[in-house]
Amino acid sequence: MSDAISSILSQIRAHQSHAALRADAPAGTAIDPSLFNPGAGAARPSDGPGFSDTMAKALDNVSATQRKSGELQQAFELGDPRADLARVMVAMQESQVAFRATVEVRNRLVQAYQDVMNMPI
């Protein structure tokens, strides 16, 4: 879970630094069209999973963590001896941290979208 969120955050940072480099370029510098169409130009820098795949995997992991936490809570409430209080509390905290991280990524994506939409043409 943590690796997926770290991957997303590193992609966001890479896009921010790339945008900063473009902002520092001299006026009149042409924008490389391959930035908008990766298939037309040079090959993509990495053949790994795309952003949407990484995001979907991260959301699935958060959902699984929350489901596991809920199942452990229910087992503890029903008196299952395998669901001790420590395990339940740790699962709840993992679920909470994963959800907060996902919300933070969402907030940063929304902010990045708003920044792009407010850029002068």
Q: How confident is the model at residue 112 (pLDDT cuts 50, 70, 90)?
A: very high
User: How crowded is residue 50: how many other Cβ atoms within 10 Å of its Cβ?
Assistant: 12
Summarize the confidence of residues 47-75 as an average pLDDT: 90
**pLDDT tens-digit series, residues 2-22:** 666 667 767 777 766 666 555
Least confident piece of the model among 18-27, 56-65, 104-113: 18-27
Give dist(CA 91, CA 94) in Å, integer. 5
pLDDT of residue 60 exceeding 70, the answer is: yes
User: How crowded is residue 86: how many other Cβ atoms within 10 Å of its Cβ?
Assistant: 8
Judged on CB neighbours under 10 Å (0-12, 13-18, 19+), 109 is middle
pTM value > 0.85: no
Summarize the confidence of residues 59-87 as an average pLDDT: 92
Query: Half-sphere exposure of residue 42, counting CA atoms within 13 Å on the CB side?
Result: 5
